[in-house]
Amino acid sequence: MGKSKMGFFTPQQKPSRDFRWPRSTTVLALTVIASLAAVICTSEDYYALLGVTREATTREIRRAFKKHALIMHPDVNPNDEGAHHRFLMVHRAYKVLTHEDLRKKYDRHGEKGLQDSQQVDRYKTYDFYKYNFGIVWEGGLTVVVLLEMAVNSGELWFVNFYIASCADCHNLEPTWREFAQEMDRLVRVGAVDCGDSGDLCKRKGITRHPTLLLLKDKMVEQKYFGDGSRESLTNFTMQFVGSKVTELWQGNVFSEIERAFISGIGWIVTFCADTGDCLRTEMRQKLAGMLDGLARVGWMNCSQQPGLCESFDVMSSTTAYFFPSPLSKKESALFLQSLDAKEIYSEVLQWLPDLETLTKNTFSDKVARHRWLVSFTFGQTHSASHELKKLKVLLKDLHIQVGKVDCLTQAELCGSLYIQEPSIAVFKGLGVNEFEVHHEDDALYKTASFAKDSICSHVTTLSPGYFPSDPKEPWLVDFFTSRYPSCSALLPELREASVQLLGQVSFGTLDCAVHQDICSKYNIGSYPTMLVFNQSSIHEYEGHHSAEGIVEFIEHLANPLVTSLTPDTFHNLVMHRGSDEPWLVHFYVPWCGPCQALLPEWRTVAQMLVGVAKVGTVDCDKYQSFCKHEDAQAYPEIRLFSPNASQYQSYGGSSWDAASLRNWALESLPQVTEDLTPEDLQRQVYSGEDHWVLEFSASWCAPCQKFAPEFELLAQMMKGSVRAGKVDCQTHTEACEKADINSYPTVRFYPSWVSSKDQAGEDINSRDANTIADTLRQRLQQLSAHAQRTGAKVKDEL
10 Å CB burial of residue 251 (0-12, 13-18, 19+) is exposed
> Does residue 694 surpass a pLDDT of 90?
yes
> Does residue 110 surpass a pLDDT of 80?
no
> Does residue 227 surpass a pLDDT of 90?
yes
What is the CATH T-level fold of the domain 23-124, as seen in this structure?
A: Helix Hairpins (1.10.287)
Mean pLDDT, the chain, rounded, equals 85
Confidence of residue 698 (pLDDT cuts 50, 70, 90): very high
Beta 435-438 vs 423-427: how paired, if at all? antiparallel
Which of 781, 773, 794, 671 lies closest to 725 in space, CA to CA? 671
Give the homologous superfamily in CATH for domain 357-542. Glutaredoxin (3.40.30.10)
Beta 266-272 vs 318-322: how paired, if at all? antiparallel
245-351 shares the fold of 23-124:
no
Q: Domain extents for the chain?
A: 23-124, 142-238, 245-351, 357-542, 561-668, 674-790
Beta 475-480 vs 506-511: how paired, if at all? parallel
pLDDT in tens, 268-292: 999 999 998 999 999 999 999 999 9
Phi, psi angle pair for 105, to nearest 5°:
-65, -40
> Does residue 15 surpass a pLDDT of 70?
no
The residue count of the chain comes to 798
- C-alpha torsion 219→224→229→231, nearest 10: -40
pLDDT at 132: 56
> Does residue 644 surpass a pLDDT of 90?
no
* DSSP per position, 596-648: HHHHHHHHHHHHHTTTT-EEEEEETTTSHHHHHHTT--SSSEEEEE-TT-SS-
> Does residue 38 surpass a pLDDT of 50?
no
Which of 336, 288, 340 lies closest to 182 in space, CA to CA? 340
> Does residue 419 surpass a pLDDT of 90?
yes
Amino acid at 543: G
pLDDT at 594: 85
Sign of the four-CA dihedral 443, 449, 455, 461: negative
> Does residue 12 surpass a pLDDT of 60?
no
- Dmax over CA atoms of the chain, in Å, equals 111
pLDDT at 118: 55
Give the homologous superfamily in CATH for domain 674-790. Glutaredoxin (3.40.30.10)
Give the homologous superfamily in CATH for domain 142-238. Glutaredoxin (3.40.30.10)
- CATH 3.40.30.10 assigned to domain 245-351? The reply is yes
Give the homologous superfamily in CATH for domain 561-668. Glutaredoxin (3.40.30.10)
Lowest mean pLDDT among 4-18, 69-83, 493-507, 523-537: 4-18
> Does residue 383 surpass a pLDDT of 70?
no
**Is the distance from CB of 727 to CB of 676 less than 8 angstroms?**
yes
10 Å CB burial of residue 682 (0-12, 13-18, 19+) is middle
Q: How far apart are CA 498 and CA 547, in angstroms?
A: 8
> Does residue 24 surpass a pLDDT of 60?
no
Which of 437, 416, 420 lies closest to 428 in space, CA to CA? 437
Amino acid at 757: K
Confidence of residue 131 (pLDDT cuts 50, 70, 90): low
Phi, psi angle pair for 143, to nearest 5°:
-80, 115
Phi-psi bin for 512: left (phi > 0), alpha (psi -120 to 50), beta? Answer: alpha
Runs of H (alpha helix) within 80-190: 83-97, 100-109, 126-127, 147-152, 167-183
Phi-psi bin for 523: left (phi > 0), alpha (psi -120 to 50), beta? Answer: left
* DSSP per position, 36-88: HHHHHHTT--HHHHHT--TT--HHHHHHHHHHHHHHH-GGG-TT-TTHHHHHH
Q: Which residues contact 32 (CB under 8 A, 6 or more apart)?
A: 68, 71, 72
